[in-house]
Chains A and B, each alone.
Chain A
Amino acid sequence: MSALSSKHLLGIKDVSKKDIQLIFKTAENFKEVLNRPIKKVPSLRDITVANIFFENSTRTKISFELAEKRLSADIVNFNSGTSSINKGETLIDTVNNILAMKVDMVVMRHPAPGAAKFLSNHIDANIVNAGDGTHEHPTQALLDAYTLTEKLSNLSNKNILLVGDIIHSRVALSNIYCLQKLGANVRVCGPPNLIPNHIESLGIEVSYDLKESLNWCDAANLLRIQLERQDDKYFPSLREYSLQYGINQEILNQVDKDIIIMHPGPINRGVEITSQVADSNNSVILNQVENGVAIRMAILYLLSSN
């Protein structure tokens, strides 16, 4: 089997189906590693990884850090809040300074779409995009799709629904690319204001009817309402959003089959999903978190050999 076709993971758009399958296969082995009494392997012991986060993150950052530690890599963490960015330093200067300290890989989250691509044009290290603005969040899409393949065995012709704040969601775009490459049918559903114009041109369906969409799908991924990106008022109130597009047990009971409920986190409990549904048997939210570490280990392992 050949290596990944790129030395970076910038977005799912440019990743081939073969690459995704290689990542999934490798993640399976790392999942086994994570269930051993000693959950650490020495594969990246001579690699230093810089985690550069220009935006807040809890689970992605912890998940990457844990993945790096499980692979025995050395880690440097960098948060924009406590850095020289506040003193006016540019992105390239910041990263070049970190690279001068002989860093081999950079995991970066940045509020500007395309930041990871920009970085990959200017520096030599392997870049992993941990979210760039409203553009892409490739590792989240890979772990979502991996979790789905565990439950549905393969995604060919399966119906996957993305609900909620599509317009601000980097998870949505990466999910759409990833699910389509794996053969799934994708539909987005949410208030018209939160669905970008012309999104159908990506080859997906658009619906504003949650109940009908839930009956259509095999799995529903409920995206977080990104309160931090709501500069304009996109809907009258969270309560109204929740009444129309929130998922509760009552709505699920009206669906005539068992569907898988996903959420990339962090959950706004009581807004896009009720606690009862988030903690129910239909929910695979904690499986997503568990698989996140294995997927990120696989990506770091595969990129480091490129």
Chain B
Amino acid sequence: MKKVILEYKRVELIITRIAHQLVENHGSFENTAILALQPRGTFFGKILAEKIKSLFKIDIHYGELDTTFYRDDFRRNNKLLIPNEVNIDFNIEDKNIVLIDDVLYTGRSIRAALDAINAYGRPKSVELVTLINRKYNREVPIQPDYTGEDIDTRANDYVKVDWKDDQCRIWIITDKEK
């Protein structure tokens, strides 16, 4: 069964809310950078970064991080893990890093991201923003600092975030069909 759980109007409100929360905590973003996770976190990351820029008229460092080489499931299944592009044109040493992903589920991608970040230097701090927080079935002790929406799902549900023309609609699919 497929069910829409969030339409774009609601997502837009969420993005505006998180933008305000981030500026409340990071001020002018002088020593803060946004790092969106490849591949799917970059849609959300770009829109959130643009929202902060347009609402508060500030410049922010925005980059995209790929975690493929740090994943713990390489050679654990038959799927080939193809890496994505990394775009980080600033120094992360001693910066406050805001990691962005669309869905937080087992937490393993974020664990890999924490390893990947260290290859670029030692950040002052790392925070996590996630559009959807699937509360159950976490496999590592990782929690978001900013959440769009908490949802209750079962292990065989699938949450799909569809981005089209910078708008998004979020589905929950409950019969395993992906």
Confirm or deny: B101 has a beta carbon within 8 angstroms of a beta carbon on chain A: no
- Other CB < 8 Å A-B pairs besides A2-B80, A29-B86, A40-B119, 14 of them? A26-B83, A29-B66, A29-B68, A29-B69, A33-B119, A36-B119, A37-B119, A39-B119, A42-B69, A301-B69, A302-B80, A304-B75, A305-B80, A305-B81
Q: Is A1 an interface residue (CB 8 A)?
A: yes
What is the bound-complex CA distance between A39 and B120, given in angstroms?
9
* Residue in chain A with minimal CB distance to B77: A305
Q: Any chain A CB within 8 A of the CB of B90?
A: no
| CA distance in complex: A1, B80 (Å) | 8
- Chain A residues near B75 (CB-CB < 8 A): 46, 304-305
A7-45 near B? 1/0 per residue, CB < 8 Å: 000000000000000000110010011001111111100
User: What is the distance, in angstroms, from B98's C-beta to the closest C-beta of chain A?
Assistant: 20
B121 surroundings in chain A (CB, below 8 A): 37
Write the B66-97 contact mask toward A (1 if CB under 8 angstroms, else 0).
Answer: 10111000110000111111100000000000
A1→B82 contact, CB < 8 A: yes
Whole-angstrom CA separation of A25 from B84 in the bound complex: 9
- A238 interface hit (Cβ, 8 Å): no
What are 22 sample pairs from A and B whose C-beta atoms fall under 8 A apart?
Answer: A1-B82, A25-B82, A26-B82, A29-B66, A29-B68, A29-B83, A29-B84, A29-B85, A29-B86, A32-B86, A33-B119, A36-B119, A38-B119, A38-B120, A40-B119, A41-B119, A42-B115, A43-B69, A43-B74, A304-B75, A305-B75, A305-B81
| Any A CB within 8 A of the CB of B118 | yes
Assess the A41–B85 pair: CB atoms within 8 A: no
Say which size band chain A's interface belongs to: 20 to 34
Assess whether B120 is in contact with A37, with CB atoms less than 8 Å apart.
yes
**Residues 97-126 of chain B, each 1 if its beta carbon lies under 8 Å from chain A, else 0:** 000000000000000000100111100000
Bound-state Cα–Cα, A302 to B74, Å:
11
Question: In the assembled complex, which residues on chain A have CB atoms less than 8 Å from the CB atom of B86?
Answer: 29, 32
State the majority secondary structure of interface residues on B.
loop
Which of B66, B70, B82, B85 contacts A42 (CB under 8 A)? B70
Nearest B residue (CB) for A22: B82
By secondary structure, the A interface counts as loop
A-B pairs with beta carbons under 8 A, tally = 44
B136 nearest CB across to chain A (Å): 28
Q: Report Cα–Cα, A3/B85, bound state, in Å.
A: 18
Residues on B with C-beta less than 8 A from A43 are 69, 74
The answer to whether B81 and A36 have CB atoms under 8 Å apart is: no
* Chain B min CB distance to A294 (Å): 12
Smallest distance from the beta carbon of B48 to chain A beta carbons, Å?
24
Query: Within 8 Å CB of B80, what residues of A?
Result: 1-3, 302, 305
How far, in angstroms, from A26 to B82 measured CA to CA in the complex? 7
**B70, A41: Cβ atoms closer than 8 Å:** yes
Kindly provide the distance from the CB of A163 to the nearest chain B CB, expressed in whole angstroms. 36
Hey, which chain B residues are within 8 Å of A40, CB to CB? 119
Provide the bound-state CA to CA distance between A46 and B80, in Å. Answer: 17
- Give per-residue flags for B52-67: 1 if the beta carbon is below 8 A from chain A beta carbons, else 0: 0000000000000010
Q: How far is the CB of A178 from chain B (nearest CB, A)?
A: 21
The residues of B that contact A3 with a CB separation of less than 8 Å are 80
Q: How far is the CB of A44 from chain B (nearest CB, A)?
A: 9
- Name B68's closest neighbour in chain A (CB-CB): A29
Tell me which residues across on chain A come within 8 A of B85, comparing CB atoms. 29, 32
Q: From residue A3, how far is it (CB to closest CB) to chain B in Å? A: 4
Q: Smallest distance from the beta carbon of A251 to chain B beta carbons, Å?
A: 40
Give Cα distance in the complex from A43 to B74, angstroms. Answer: 7
Determine how close the nearest CB of chain A comes to the CB of B11; give it in whole angstroms.
Answer: 30
Chain A residues with CB under 8 Å of B84's CB are: 29
A29 to B85, CA, bound (A): 6
CA distance A33 to B66 in the complex (A): 11
User: Mask for A285-306, Cβ within 8 A of B = 1, else 0?
Assistant: 0000000000000000110110
Q: Point out the residues of chain B lying under 8 angstroms from A41, CB to CB.
A: 69-70, 119
Closest 10 A-B residue pairs measured CB to CB? A41-B69, A29-B83, A3-B80, A38-B119, A43-B69, A36-B119, A1-B82, A32-B86, A305-B80, A305-B75
